[in-house]
Structure 1
Amino acid sequence: MADISATQTGKSGVWKSDEWQRLLEKRKRGDFQLKLAGLAALGFAILMLAILFASLISTGWQALRQTHVTVAFELSADRIDPANPIRGNYRAIVGDAVAELFPELQGPALRSATGILSTGAQNALRDLVVRDPSRIGETVTLTVPTSDPYDQLNKGLVDRTTPEAQRRVTDAEIALFDSLAERGLISKPINWALVTAADSRFPELAGLKGALWGSFYALLVCFLISFPTGIAAGIYLEEFAPKNRFTDIIEININNLAAVPSVVFGLLALAVFLGWFGMPRSAPLVGGMTLALMTLPTIIIATRAAVKAVPPSIREAALGVGASKHQVVMSHVLPLAMPGILTGTIIGLAQALGETAPLLLIGMNAFITAAPESILAPSTALPTQIFIWADSPERGFVSRTSAAILVLLAFLVLMNAIAVFLRSRFERRW
Structure 2
Amino acid sequence: MSDATFPAGGRAVADAKAPPRRDIGLKRRYASERRFKAYGIAAIAVGMIFLATLLWTVVSQGYTAFWQTQIRLPITFSQSVIDPKNTGGKDLQALRLANYPKLVQDALVQRLGIDPKNRADVTAATQLVSQGVRTQLGGMVMEDLSVIGTTQDVWLYANSTVDSAVKGQFDLSIPEERRPIKDKQLEWIRTLEQAGDMEQRFNTGLFTFGASSRAETAGVGVAIIGSLYMMAIVLALALPIGVAASIYLEEFAPKNRFTDFIEVNINNLAAVPSIVYGLLGLAIFVNYMGLPRSASLVGGLVLTLMTLPTIIIATRAALKAVPPSIRAAALGLGASRMQMVFHHVLPLAMPGILTGTIIGLAHALGETAPLLLIGMVAFVANYPTTPMDPSTALPVQIYMWANEAERAFVERTSGAIIVLLLFLAVMNITAIILRRRFERRW
TM-score (norm 1): 0.95
2:336 aligned partner: 324
TM superposition shift of 1:127: 1.0
- Partner Cα distance (1:7, 1:197) in 2: 85
| Amino acid in the other structure paired with 1:86 | R
2:281 corresponds to 1:269: yes
The reply on whether 1:306 has 2:318 as its aligned counterpart is yes
CA–CA distance in 2 between the matches of 1:228 and 1:5? 78
2:339 aligned with 1:339: no
Query: 1:8 deviation in Å?
Result: 5.7
CA distance 1:8–1:417, change in 2 (3 Å): farther
Q: In structure 2, which of residues 96, 100, 124 is the aligned counterpart of residue 90 of structure 1?
A: 100
Q: Distance in 1 between matches of 2:256 and 2:414?
A: 51
Correspondence list, 1:77-116, <5 A: 77-81=79-83, 82-83=86-87, 84=91, 85-105=95-115, 106-116=118-128
CA drift at 1:17: 4.3
Paired residue for 1:234, among 231, 246, 249?
246
Mapping of residues 13-412 of structure 1, within 5 Å: 17-81=19-83, 82-83=86-87, 84=91, 85-105=95-115, 106-412=118-424
Structure 2 unaligned segments of length 5 or more: list them.
Answer: 1-10
Q: Say what the alpha-carbon RMSD is for the aligned residues.
A: 1.6
Deviation by residue 1:264-301 (Cα, 9 ceiling, x = unmatched)? 00010011110100101101111011000011001111
Mapped partners of 1:69, 1:332: distance in 2:
63
The separation in 1 between residues aligned to 2:373 and 2:71, in whole angstroms, is: 41
In 1, the alpha carbon distance for the partners of 2:411 and 2:45 equals: 28
CA distance change for structure 1 residues 253 and 5 in 2, over 3 Å: closer, same or farther?
A: farther
Matched AA of 2:103: I
Q: Comparing 117-126 with 342-351, which one deviates more in the overlay?
A: 117-126
Find the residue that maps to 2:81 and give its secondary structure: coil
For residues 147 and 260 of structure 2, the distance between their equivalents in structure 1, rounded to whole angstroms, comes to: 73
Whole-angstrom distance in 2 between the partners of 1:86 and 1:200: 18
The gaps in structure 1 that reach 5 residues or longer are 10-15
Say if 1:6 and 1:18, in contact at 8 Å, map to a contact too.
Answer: no
Name the SS of the counterpart of 1:68 in structure 2: strand
2:74 and 2:154 in contact (8 A); partners too = yes
State percent identity of aligned pairs.
48
**What displacement does 1:5 show?**
7.1
Query: Alpha-carbon deviation of 1:69?
Result: 0.5
- The TM-score with structure 2 as length reference comes to 0.93
The alpha-carbon distance between structure 1 residues 39 and 107, as it changes in their structure 2 partners (threshold 3 A), is same
Shifted more, 277-286 versus 116-125: the winner is 116-125
Query: 1:198-256: per-residue Cα shift (whole Å, max 9, x none)?
Result: 22111111111111111000010011110000000000000001111111000000000
Aligned to 1:13: none
CA contact (8 A) 1:7 1:18 kept: no
Of stretches 412-421 and 228-237 in structure 1, the one that deviates more from structure 2 is 412-421
